[in-house]
Amino acid sequence: MDTNTLIILLLVGLFAGFASGMVGIGGGIVIVPALVYFLSLSQHQAQGVSIGMLLMPVGFLAAYNYYKQGNLNFNYSLIIGITFIAGAYFGSKISLSLDPSLMRRIFGVVILLIALKMIFNK
């Protein structure tokens, strides 16, 4: 794994944790698209990494299925998982300080932007 990939993985984990803590999103909404667009992983590989990140807490059997098909990178999952924790902590601190109606709008904009990118990009 090169330095550039490591930096991308650290930033993805931190941002996904932040987004999760702030607006309750993370794996499918942040991590999967980021891995597809920034590291050129296939959709299945990105989903495998995202599931692998949550391996112990929620996704052991799903991660095992991705692993059997060759779509789980344990190193990527571990790095994103560790930084996800820090991001979630800080994202939740900020979120809890904001008005609920503002948070609802932020959540809607984030999902809309991601949806538009996925719909209109190749």
Read off the pLDDT of each residue in 13-41 and give the average, rounded to a whole number. Answer: 81
Q: DSSP letter at 24?
A: S
What phi-psi label fits residue 74: left (phi over 0), alpha (psi between -120 and 50 degrees) or beta? alpha
Domain count, the chain: 1
- Give the range of the structural domain holding residue 114, as residue numbers without chain letter: 3-120
pLDDT tens digit string along 43-62? 788 877 877 777 666 667 77
Q: What is the DSSP letter of 122?
A: -
